[in-house]
Amino acid sequence: MSGMGDGYVGSAQDAVRIRRLEKQREAERRKFQELKSKTASGQEQSGLLQFGTSSCEILDTAFKKETVGLVTREEYVEKRVNIRNKFEEEEKEKLQKLQQEEEELQQQKRSKKRKIKGTSRLSFAEDIENGSDDEDGENKSSEPMNLRCGKLGKDPSVETNFLPDSEREAEEQAERERLKKQWLREQEQIKNEPLEITYSYWDGTGHRRVIQVRKGDAIGNFLRSVQQQLAPDFREIRTTSVENLLYVKEDLIIPHQHSFYELIINKARGKSGPLFHFDVHEDVRTIADATIEKDESHAGKVVERHWYEKNKHIFPASRWEIYDPTKKWERVLFLALLLLASPLLQVARCQSDPDDHSSLVDDVVGENSDSGVEEDDQDLDVNLTSFPGVETVCVFPKNSAKLVPAGEDTELLVGLKNDGKSSIGVMGIRASVHLPYDHKLLVQNLTMLRFNNASIPTSLQASFSYIFAVSQYLQPGAFDLVGYIIYDVEGKPFQSVFYNGTIEVVESGGLLSGESVFLITLGIALLLLLGLWAYSQVQRLTKKTKKVSKVEVGTRSTDASLDEWLEGTPLAKTLSGKSKNKKN
């Protein structure tokens, strides 16, 4: 066959189809090259839009280029608005261009379909028509084909929606893309809406403020604005960083990467209320209904991380937890009966040891006063924090049950590991006993243990033995023990908590203590009284009484000696003699 290789075997229609496919491949190859060159030229051009970058990054980059050096507030706002408007115009132009291309593509498909329907009903007529110009000789030599056939059509009563239709699928895909872009624009508008937040800076007491941010802002951006607002009024806020600030809403600590938009969209809830309301309002109801959850919102708290680490065992910080989007918080009411006596009724006489602690404070302040640090900032009880890279561990070597006899020594091993870049010098260990329900109520300050030349180099660890004794007059029961190890790094004092938990204080002297003996004696006495009462009841029920019939004898006396008028007579002597004989 002419125009084909010697090894080709096939009909003329196959040859026409092969040539048509080769032309299509060549056209697609040229189109790909044009797109590739167009993309390369577009990357070289300077502009706001670049591939692979988000809108926020583009705006920030363009804004940085425009605001080099010092600018006034008016110029700053004007340039920001101009760049945003320019970016929105480019987005609109790009969207219009894409819509025009989609409309042209749809128009071409419709015109092509109408042309095919008008010319012929044969499925291979297009192949013959395209190859007729190139293969006129072959078409003339081929056998004439019968193009006449019966009329074919569709039955309008048959449902054909389940059949594949490329045009319908393209329209559906275009509609999905349009709806997706529309939804993204609406969400972007929601994120740009202003949001007024009522919060309270918490340092043990509340300082309520109101600030306005965008709904799309993250918690970190919100805390940065809060820091700028609180800096003139609070000295500790000026030197802290945003990473050391926490936002607590409804007893949940919200991480910095979450945004207000996420909390609002997901309708997130906390322990005591919703996380998507940022004002303050109460739930006022005329009729109480337990099936409907309360709709009340509380002011969120902004706290320093150092304050939280130091007071997380005290209410309200003891209730705070990290926010987890996968965890659902439900409000549950718990009703309980108090079966234990109130700890306020326990009487304990304790002795504090403030001299050791005050001397250690004076030593630390004196060492650092030479380096220019003011003494007001060196309060160990308030402002000392832990040094990064220092880890502590605590073990009761001889008492795994953590039973502390009152008035006797108890040993505690404190381990300290230095993962920092500088060596640390251990200065002392101190501890205190508190009531379990409120750490503000101090029961006893324990002995201060001081060290002179205790140094731990980097990447090493050491252990220290701490022996303490609680007061012998302390009432047995559960108490909280808080232990601190104080050290200095490069001349600055720090402290870390090595133990913060519950201990059980018991009486010394073994099992037979005064209280146990009293209770045992009282129990035995109660058992004896109960036994006596039961014995008397049994005796009363089982006792048998004899019934004696009473016989009336009148006024006659059976003893003649009782008749005074017969005294001295022979009859009286005879009767008295008979009675004596009967008795014998």
Q: Is residue 288 a part of any domain in this protein?
A: no
Does residue 476 fall inside a structural domain?
A: yes
Report the C-alpha gap between 120 and 152 in whole angstroms.
Answer: 11
**Is there a domain that residue 46 lies in?**
no
- Residue 583 confidence class, pLDDT cut points 50, 70, 90: low
Do 412 and 305 belong to one domain? no
Residue 521 forms part of a structural domain? no
Query: Are both 241 and 302 inside the same structural domain?
Result: yes
If residue 238 lies in a helix (H) or strand (E), which one and from where to where? Answer: helix 235-239
- Asked if 326 and 240 sit in the same domain, the reply is yes
The tens digit of pLDDT for each residue in 187-199 reads 999 999 999 999 9
Based on the domain organization, do 395 and 304 belong to the same domain? Answer: no
Question: Which domain range does residue 443 map to?
Answer: 390-507
Pairing relationship of beta strands 321-322 and 477-489 according to DSSP bridges = unpaired
**Confidence tier at 349 by pLDDT (50, 70, 90):** very low
**Residue 570 in domain:** no
- Per-residue pLDDT band for 384 (boundaries 50, 70, 90) equals confident
Do 333 and 468 have their domain in common?
no
| Mean pLDDT on 518-532 | 90
Number of domains in the chain: 2
φ, ψ of residue 303 in degrees (nearest 5): -130, 160
Q: What is the pLDDT of residue 157?
A: 82
pLDDT band at 304 (very low <50, low <70, confident <90, very high): very high
* DSSP-based three-state secondary structure for 275: coil
**Mean pLDDT estimate for the chain:** 75
What's the pLDDT score for residue 269? 87
| Region of poorest pLDDT, from 149-153, 231-235, 359-363, 448-452 | 359-363
CATH number of 429's domain: 2.60.40.10
In this structure, which long-range contacts are made by residues 186-189, counting pairs with CB atoms below 8 Å and at least 24 apart in sequence? 187/261, 188/216
Assign residue 273 a region: left if phi > 0, alpha if psi is -120 to 50, beta otherwise?
left
Give the range among 16-30, 143-157, 319-333 with minimum mean pLDDT: 143-157
Does residue 265 sit in the same domain as residue 405? no
Cβ within 8 Å of residue 8, ≥6 positions away: 1, 15
* Shared-domain flag, residues 262 and 400: no
Q: What are the CA-CA distances from residue 521 to residues 477, 514, 535 (Å)?
A: 22, 11, 21
CATH number of the domain that residue 319 is part of: 3.10.20.90
> Can you say whether residue 444 is alpha, beta or left, with left for phi > 0 and alpha for psi between -120 and 50 degrees?
beta
Instruction: Identify whether residues 334 and 404 lie together within a single domain.
Output: no
Tell whether 224 is covered by a domain. yes
515 pLDDT more than 50: yes
In a domain, 167, yes or no: no
In a domain, 90, yes or no: no
User: Using CA atoms, how far apart are residues 217 and 520, in angstroms rounded to an integer?
Assistant: 68
Rounded-to-integer distance, Cα 30 and Cα 386, Å: 67
- Are 273 and 248 in contact by the 8 Å Cβ rule? The answer is no
**pLDDT value, residue 490:** 84
Show the 3-state SS of 19-75.
HHHHHHHHHHHHHHHHHHHHHHHHHHCCCCCCCCCCHHHHHHHHHHHHCCCCCCHHH
- Compute φ and ψ for 162, nearest 5 degrees: -80, -15
CA distance 166 to 172: 10
